[in-house]
Structure 1
Amino acid sequence: MEKIKVKDSVGTILIHDMTQIIPGVSKGPRFRKGHIVRDEDISVLLSMGKEHIYVWDQTPGLIHENEAAERLAQAVAGSGLVLDEPKEGKVNLTAAHDGLLYSSVDGILALNTLEQVILSTLHNHYPVKKGDIVGGTRVVPLMIDEAVIKEAEGIAKTFKEPILEVRPLKHAKVGIVTTGSEVYHGRIQDKFGPVLRAKVENWGSEVIAHTLANDDVSLIQSSIREQLNQGAEMVLVSGGMSVDPDDVTPTAIKEMGAELITYGAPVLPGAMFLLAYIGKIPIMGLPGCVMYSKTTAFDLIAPRLMTGERLTRLDIVKLGSGGLCLNCPVCIYPRCSFGK
């Protein structure tokens, strides 16, 4: 690139977008990269406070910020993402559909350790809607050594999974078993079922069966098996998750041959959460807080299972950092620290 006086710039080609700010009226690019300066542009450039401008002077080995940002975005983008057009040296990555953002913390760190390279994203496992901006790339200088971008592209290829991708939530057939003798015998109304049904449907899945069971291990187990036989791809068992002697839900799940992943999660609310698998089918034991708290461990874990991810105990343990809900008077999840 070449720096020249504005008054001598007629006929030259701008190397970057130039922003004009008119207080209270507008802010945005007045001249775009590639614009050929004309006589009538001189007064406008001077009014923008430009005494000198940078114009195109192709130097071997250097590439423009727009090209660099676009190549970075292409290098990190996996499925479920759309790349916006480069604008003022920046490229936004937006969600192509609803789902969860999966981002590689190690990959983001590796790229950002390169000098003059920037990748900024939402948190890993952030729930997004179609059209949401989930990340952005840019470089610091107007022109950057292409070797840096090639190094960034090489780093991205070293990771098994894309550094960024949006995974859709799959449509799942869900069974619900509400436990508790007080509900089973009709002494109180079931409050769990409607809450769980609303969450399941909001995630794009359906409840295919909802049964009640008293505090009896064999009845809870037969209810779960019945729903599996009906084609349930996920079973939610609510209630009976504490350590009281008559809270037998964990025992029922463990003793029916399920692979126990965890009984307990470092998340508040939701500490008594249970996750197990029968084959490939997740079985979740849900504590009472899921019934009355807006967001709990269940909301952090269930959507990941609905993308098809199989979670380990380590995955659950990692939720401890950011696992404290602040119980705000008005819940703004996911635009808060919970689960981040």
Structure 2
Amino acid sequence: MKFGPVAIAEAAGCVLAHSLHLEGRSLRKGQVLSAEDVVAIAEAGINDITVARIAEDDLDENTAASKIADALVADGLTATSPFTGRVNLTASHAGLFRVDVAAVHALNRVDEAITLATLADNSRVDEGALLATIKVIPYAVPERAVSDALGAITSVVFRLLPNAVKTADLVLTETPGMKPTLNRKAETVTRARLTSLGVSLDAVHVVAHDERSVVRALKASKSDIVLLLGASATSDRADVMPAALVDAGGALHRFGMPVDPGNLLFTGALVGRPVVGLPGCARSPALNGADWVLERLVAGQAVDDEDIAQMGVGGLLKEIPQRKQPRTARATRVKKVELIMLAAGSSSRMRGEDKLLRHVDGVPLVRRSAEVALGAKVSAVHVVLPEGNADRLGALDGLAVNTVQATDWQEGMAASLRAGMKAISDDAAAVIVALADMPEVTAEHINRLIAAFDPAEDREICRSETADGTPGHPVLFSRRFFENLSDLTGDRGAKDILKQSSELVTSVPTPGQGAVVDLDTPEAWREWELAKG
């Protein structure tokens, strides 16, 4: 790839390096300049521009990122659509994220243009968490560099381990004069800690703080894992709690860990089940060394001496003025995006026929459009219907969509949007507005909008455009525009928002002409059906 300024007459087919705002149109950085674009730039009086010229043996940024992502995807991981040379890998279920650290380092040494960033090895993640991101820095890279990067992936680099532990017993001890509220709080905190890991606290044994009582409780335990929390801190391997584990027929593996808070933890086993002696700090919900051990054990990972010894680097968890951070921080979740499907129009130009009930691929168009949305990476699909339209409602029967009835649908698109916005979840980061009468929109169109969405880079409105650059639908809006969408009036939809916030609008290329194909008349339907064959 060659990067630099060229005369405008030589720019056709090159990649625009920096966005240009011309009268009446904008050209985004990263787009391939057409002959028409070059004419418009010349007419604006610009004689040369900075471009990237992609060589025959280069791969464009998105193709390169996709190839590497495809090689990294493993069970439990999902790849987003590429955008600006980036593909994210997300978690399809909760679990423990394992990373082949050496393999990641090897890939990142191949070429400075190809980068892979990940969460730390042994990160506990929720469903939907962002696990890794592949970013190709320039607009294109040599195919050889991509081949070398793929060659560095010689084994499974990522694993997402589901829970192997489902249930837990908790043994609490008490001493004379001890406040009962202390153990009640300990039970509450421990239950919440386990629930966050997907584990049920099935039994709680409160016994005297002596070996015999603890032995009886251990022998009565039946769950997948046993947790011990003493009224007094464990001071030695021969102290009450670890000694009771041995007396019960169990094994004591390790006492003490290089993590603060959490130093006084011990680990062991009883009849093949893991046992964890919790440190006193586990009475608090704040992050401590026990959390790191539990996260691994719950995923079925053994935690041996070497594992605990290696927790020392990064094991100082106490908050200090120079590093204030919540101890309960968890892997960043991919932003939640919901979709509103507008299906309340009157089909006024169809001369008596309801276009949304016309069949495409054997099903009513409104159902097909909803199925497409359900196949995309959205958290929820809300279909807005005219109040009392039983036929359209019936066409959606059995689909996992939320139907919303617009009482004032005759007002126009704004009324449908207002109704749809009332259904959006409080924690949604963005909403995609889609039209039900667009038969060529696919899940890929929707996924590309989600992949492009990034408020940190001012990509807060992501608008679909066709392969030739014509803007269309669907359109994604970030949360900052929810109030605007909820206050719309008339039949202009969100056009005014797009116009007033043009600096936050990103055009997202999508396949074919699907972003502009809507069928409003019988003639348009016949023409489309003939072309479709």
TM-score, shorter chain, exceeding 0.5? yes
Cα offset, 1:272, TM superposition: 0.8
> Match for residue 126 of structure 1?
123
Instruction: Name the amino acid aligned to 2:6.
Output: K
**Aligned equivalents of 1:181, 1:5: Cα separation in 2:** 82
Residue in structure 2 matched with residue 168 of structure 1 by the alignment: 162
SS of 2:311's equivalent? helix
Change in 2 beyond 3 A, CA 1:265/1:2: closer
Residues 1:331 and 2:329 are matched in the alignment: no
Q: Is the 8 A contact 1:79 1:167 kept in 2?
A: no
How far the C-alpha of 1:217 sits from its partner, in A, is: 1.5
Q: What is residue 13 of structure 1 aligned with on the other side?
A: 13
Over 3 Å counting, the alpha-carbon distance change for 1:193 and 1:298 in structure 2 is same
1:271 maps to a residue whose letter is N
Q: TM-score with structure 1 length normalisation?
A: 0.81
- 1:233 — aligned with what? 224
Q: Secondary structure at the match of 1:69?
A: helix
Q: Percent identity?
A: 24
Classify the secondary structure of the residue corresponding to 1:207. strand
Hey, what does 2:202 align to over in structure 1? 208
The 3 A distance-change label for structure 1 pair 54 and 152 is closer
Counterpart check, 1:95 vs 2:91: yes
Larger Rg: 2
Residue of structure 2 in register with 1:36 after alignment: 34
Among 41, 54, 71, the alignment partner of 2:67 is 71
**SS at structure 2 position matched to 1:38:** helix
- Confirm or deny that 1:273 pairs with 2:274: no
SS in 1 for 2:163: coil
Q: Residues 193 and 285 of structure 2 are in contact (CA less than 8 Å); yes or no, is this contact kept in structure 1?
A: no
Could you state the TM-score of these two structures normalised by the residue count of structure 2? Answer: 0.53
Per the TM alignment, residue 70 of structure 1 is displaced from its structure 2 partner at its CA by: 1.6
Please state how far the C-alpha of 1:290 moved relative to its aligned partner.
0.8
Q: Who is 2:277 aligned against?
A: 285
Deviation string 1:118-137 (CA, Å, 9 cap, x unpaired) is: 11112222233333322212
8 Å contact from structure 1 (residues 169, 303) kept in 2? no
Q: 1:6, 1:42 within 8 Å by CA — same for their partners in 2?
A: no
**In 2 relative to 1, CA 69–280 (structure 1 residues): closer, same or farther, beyond 3 Å?**
farther
Counterpart Cα distance in 2 of 1:208 and 1:122: 32
SS at match of 1:204: coil
Instruction: State how far apart, in whole Å, the 2-side matches of 1:331 and 1:201 are.
Output: 19
The SS at the match of 1:5 is strand
Q: How far apart in 2 are the matches of 1:166 and 1:47?
A: 55
Write the mapping of 1:177-256 to structure 2, written as runs, cut at 5 A: 177-182=171-176, 190-228=184-222, 232-239=223-230, 240-243=232-235, 247-256=239-248
Q: Which is worse superposed, 141-150 or 69-78?
A: 141-150
Query: Using the alignment, how far apart are the partners of 2:45 and 2:251 within structure 1?
Result: 70
Q: 1:210 to 1:47 in 2, by over 3 A?
A: farther
Structure 1 pair 58–310 and aligned structure 2 pair: CA distance change class (3 A) = same
Deviations 1:69-114 (A, max 9, x none): 2222222332222212222222222222333322222111111121
Which ranges of structure 2 fall in alignment gaps of 5 or more residues? 332-533
Alpha-carbon distance in structure 2 between the residues aligned to 1:317 and 1:326 = 18
Structure 1 267/171 Cα, relative in aligned 2: closer, same or farther at 3 Å?
A: same
Aligned 8 A contact 1:286 1:298 in 2: yes
Q: Distance in 1 between matches of 2:43 and 2:13?
A: 14
Deviation at 1:66, TM superposition (A): 2.0
State whether residues 259 and 311 of structure 2, in contact with CA within 8 Å, keep that contact through their aligned partners in structure 1.
yes
The higher-RCO structure (CA 8 Å, 6+ apart) is 1
Q: CA RMSD in A?
A: 3.4
Q: 1:175 to 1:56 in 2, by over 3 A?
A: same
For the residue of structure 2 that corresponds to 1:200, the secondary structure is helix
Deviation (angstroms), 1:57: 4.6
Report if aligned partners of 1:181, 1:214 keep a CA contact under 8 Å in 2: yes
Contact 1:183 1:214 in 2 (8 A): no
2:136 aligns with one of 136, 139, 144: 139
Unpaired segments of 5 or more residues in structure 1?
A: 23-27
Q: Distance in 1 between matches of 2:95 and 2:109?
A: 29
Q: Output the amino acid matched with 2:159.
A: E
Indicate the larger mover: 306-315 or 169-178.
169-178
Q: 1:99 to 1:5 in 2, by over 3 A?
A: same
Offset from partner CA, 1:224-258 (integer Å, 9 cap, x none): 12112xxx001111114422799400111123332
Work out whether 1:257 is the aligned partner of 2:219: no
Separation in 2 of the partners of 1:91 and 1:214? 55
Residue 51 of structure 1: SS of its match in structure 2? strand
Could you say if the C-alpha distance between residues 335 and 309 of structure 1 is closer, same or farther in structure 2, counting changes exceeding 3 Å?
closer
Q: Secondary structure at the match of 2:78?
A: strand
Relative distance call for 1:236 and 1:41 in structure 2 (3 A) is farther
Residues 54 and 60, structure 2, Cα contact 8 Å, conserved in 1 = no
Distance 2:104 2:42 in 1: 40
Amino acid at match of 2:170: I
Query: How far apart are the structure 1 equivalents of 2:56 and 2:43?
Result: 23
Partner amino acid for 2:191?
R
